[in-house]
Amino acid sequence: MTLFLKLWPLFFVLCALAPTAIASPPPVLLAHEATEGIDPTPYWVSEKLDGVRAVWDGRALRFRSGRPVHAPDWFVRALPPQAMDGELWLGRGRFAELSGIARKQVPLDAEWRGVRYLIFELPEAPGDFSQRVMAMRALVASANVPWLGAVAQERVPDRAELTARLAEVLAAGGEGLMLHRADAPYLTGRSDALLKLKPWSDAEAIVIAHVTGQGRFVGMLGALEVRMADGRQFRIGTGFSDAERQAPPPIGAQISFRYRGLTATGLPRFASFWRVREPL
């Protein structure tokens, strides 16, 4: 009985924490690949940020998986109560650093001072995307929070200008461009309303096994055995740093990889590891 009384307060604490620790993945809009020669005039165009996607429901900030982002209280407390979808961002080419910051269970204020939350969508907001672009700009301006911003959206008049804009972003170390149909209502799931334009394709897969390295990789990772959402399995043996080969993504981790086209059997050609999809 004495032990029961000692553990009873802990039971209430765990019950209180459970709703925030476990949540279903929030429904979000996912992009298709843009086709060659696409006409950009029906779209708003923005840079594809090298960040960590985060969804704000007005009270809590979560990764795409539904797990909570352990940001400092001051970071989330200042956000407006309206639902927002966007990216945590440090700058071009700094994903690994950002991932290390965002994955910590106990956030460090000094690290989060450099993080921005850049939004590109307002979940469930009325109107088409053009109207939501204006609403995002107004929301950010009225919130007046230094670490909250709206992803820059612009209209591009023709394919030549789109190509020039892509080249400019790539030359500056960016990943590519996003194209969002101006007339699209708020949507979730994978849709042609949102397209990504990059010099390579990318996809996601689950790590199901580690293949031991040979030669100079003896004692380290040689390749990842992965499974895609449609059940197809294959190996990824390139794109890893030595540090990643020594401490590879664990079994069950969801990773992103890059590839160029498909083989005759429909598997990704020249697949190369890119990164863990979100912090572990």
| Identified catalytic residue from 48, 104, 196, 198 | 48
- Topology of domain 29-197, CATH: D-amino Acid Aminotransferase; Chain A, domain 1 (3.30.470)
**Phi then psi dihedrals of residue 208, to 5 deg:** -115, -15
Q: What is the pLDDT of residues 119-162, one digit of tens each?
A: 999 998 999 999 999 999 999 999 999 999 999 999 999 999 99
Mean pLDDT of 243-262: 91
**pLDDT at position 84, please?**
98
Q: What is the mean pLDDT of residues 236-265?
A: 90
pLDDT-based confidence at 7, cuts 50/70/90?
Answer: very low
- Domain positions in the chain are 29-197, 201-276
Checking if the pLDDT of 81 tops 70, the result is: yes
Please say if 196 is a catalytic residue.
no
Paired with 206 in beta bridges are 227, 254
The answer to whether 57 touches 80, Cβ cutoff 8 Å, is: no
Q: Are the CB atoms for 101 and 112 separated by under 8 Å? A: yes
Torsions phi, psi for 33 (to 5 deg): -75, 140
3-class SS string, 227-256: ECCCCCEEEECCCCCHHHHHCCCCCCCEEE
Give yes or no for residue 279 having a pLDDT over 50.
yes
Whether 5 shows a pLDDT value over 80: the answer reads: no
Instruction: Report the candidate in 196, 192, 162, 167 with the shortest Cα–Cα distance to residue 179.
Output: 196
Model confidence at 3: pLDDT above 80 = no
Rounded distance between C-alpha atoms, residue 197 and residue 192, angstroms = 12
Q: Please name every residue paired with 194 in a beta bridge, in sequence order, or none if there are none.
A: 180
Q: Phi/psi class of residue 103: alpha, beta or left (left: φ > 0; alpha: ψ in -120 to 50)?
A: alpha
Average pLDDT for the chain:
89
Q: Which residues pair with 85 in a beta bridge?
A: 55, 121
Among the CATH numbers 2.130.10.10, 1.10.287.130, 2.40.110.10, 2.40.50.140, which is that of 201-276? Answer: 2.40.50.140
pLDDT digit string, tens, across residues 167-216: 999 999 898 999 999 999 999 999 999 999 988 888 899 999 999 999 88
Map tokens 């407006």 to a residue. 80
